[in-house]
Amino acid sequence: KTKIVKVDPNNIDYDIIKEAAQIINNGGTVVFPTETVYGIGADALNDEAVDKIFKAKGRPQDNPLIVHIANFSDLYDLASEVPEKAKVLADKYWPGPMTMILNKKGILSDKITAGLKTAAIRLPINEIALALIRESKKPIAAPSANTSGKPSPTEAGHVIDDLMGKVDMIIDGGSTYIGLESTVVDMTTEIPMILRPGGVTIEDIVKVLGKCEYDPAIIKNDEKIIPKSPGQKYRHYSPKADVIMYKGSIENIVDNIVQDYEKFELEGRNIGIMSTLQTEKYYTGKNTICVGDRNNLLTISSNLFRDLRKFDELGMDVILAESVDEKGLGKAIMNRLGKAAGKVINV
């Protein structure tokens, strides 16, 4: 029932894009790559089609979807108000890994926005995504193409594992670039507020707007603070294994991971370490996956979700993960690791 097709992002086969657009226009679902993660798309103006997304993912109805557009001007069809600062931000970071929350127009149903007065809108940079939106001539609603609660997919294989038989088409466009979902920034407040950190960082936004803050719910990992982004309240991005994250100086992190590894091993548990290029050498003889280079956080963001899934495939019960500095992309990496981790140990 699910058709799987390969598309080269550097040499797009428009016959396939046409077929995919037809599925969208007939109320079906198409999974496509973006520069962040894969998305499961449907016509944002067709409630029945949008409903198929919620069903396929097992997504709670109170979690609103992002609507994807291909031109900045499309924004005016969907948002009732586009403040000057939103124009400035879009001018700089669209197309790209950034989603803006704006007051919505009535054309967007309560199904898409989970009854909120605002909508999440994004203009991606991936050429396959853009071609699909242009060809279908529809805004496309697309959450990440994972089963709800699992790490977002960064390769078509992850989508096949989660959604085979549950969607009409999967477009395999290779690995995504950033590997973490877009930055969600609320533009309806006087000071723009980041509801979910991602590829466009707070530093990037401050550079062009002067001001930007984090939603308090993503700074403190305190369950009493209700996040403004409904999706942030779920314990997300979690692999089957228990994830323990270690925070502190790199020496202390390594020491504690080595000690705990040996302790868990005596208990007969299957343990894996998520190491980095800089620390790998301290874990010889242990099960490790090197997630990337601390001096190039893009390598870590792009591998993180894939490696969490790999640990599951290896049948690990426990994953010991190192933290990174919360600067730049590090903020988004730590936000996702924090959600995956059942336990954070300060060392």
Residues that bind ligand TXA (CB under 6 A): 34, 36-37, 39, 63-66, 99, 101, 113, 116, 118-120, 122, 142-144, 181-182, 184, 195-196, 228-232
CB contact at 8 A, 154 and 336: no
Residue 151 CB, shortest distance to ligand TXA, in Å, is 11
**126 is in the binding site of which of ligand TXA, Mg ion, none (Cβ under 5 to 8 A by kind)?**
none
Residues that contact Mg ion, how many (by CB under 5 A): 1
Query: Is 35:177 a contact under the CB 8 Å cutoff?
Result: yes
79 touches, from Mg ion, ligand TXA, none (C-beta below 5 to 8 Å by class): none
Residue closer to Mg ion (CB basis): 39 or 292: 39
Of the pair 16, 308, the CB lying nearest Mg ion is at 308
Binder of residue 179, out of Mg ion, ligand TXA, none (CB less than 5 to 8 A by kind): none
Listed in sequence order, the residues at least 6 apart from 223 whose beta carbon sits closer than 8 Å to its beta carbon are none
Residue 195 or 340: which CB sits closer to ligand TXA? 195
Smallest gap from Cβ 332 to ligand TXA, in A, equals 11
Question: Hey, what are 34's tokens?
Answer: 């973006």
34 binds, options ligand TXA, Mg ion, none, Cβ within 5 to 8 A by partner type: ligand TXA
Strand partners, 171: 5
Residues 139-158 binding Mg ion (CB under 5 A) are: 144
Residue type, 313: E
- Binds 102, which of ligand TXA, Mg ion, none (CB < 5 to 8 A, cut-off by type)? none
> 12 φ, ψ to 5°?
-70, 130
Those residues whose C-beta lies under 8 Å from the C-beta of residue 227, and which sit 6 or more positions away, are 195, 215, 217, 218, 233
Distance CA 73, CA 70 (A): 9
Nearer to Mg ion, 57 or 331 (CB): 57
Q: Which residues pair with 293 in a beta bridge?
A: 296
Give the nearest distance from C-beta 144 to Mg ion in angstroms: 3
197 binds, among ligand TXA, Mg ion, none (CB under 5 to 8 A by kind): none
What character string, x for contact with Mg ion (CB under 5 A) and - otherwise, covers 255-294?
----------------------------------------
CB burial of residue 326 (10 Å; 0-12, 13-18, 19+): middle
Which residue lies nearer to ligand TXA by CB, 16 or 185? Answer: 185
Distance CA 317, CA 324 (A): 23
DSSP string, 48-60: HHHHHHHHHHT--
H or E stretch covering 218: helix 216-219
Residues 6-25, one symbol each (x = binds Mg ion by CB under 5 A, - = not), give --------------------
CB of 319 to ligand TXA, least distance (A): 22
Q: Determine how β-strand 39-43 pairs with β-strand 30-32.
A: antiparallel
Strand 271-275 versus strand 318-322 pairing type: parallel
Q: Are 203 and 192 in contact (CB under 8 A)?
A: no
- Residues 6 or more apart whose Cβ sits within 8 Å of residue 106: none
- Give the residue with the Cβ less far from ligand TXA, 237 or 246: 237
Of all residues in this chain, which one has the CB nearest to Mg ion in the complex? Answer: 144
Which of 34/275 has CB closer to ligand TXA?
34
Name the residue nearer to ligand TXA (CB basis): 113 or 147. Answer: 113
How many whole angstroms separate alpha carbon 218 and alpha carbon 118? Answer: 20
Contact between 183 and Mg ion per CB under 5 A = no
Phi, psi of 76, deg, nearest 5: -70, -15
Minimum Å gap between C-beta 87 and Mg ion is: 27
For Mg ion, the binding residues (CB under 5 A) are 144
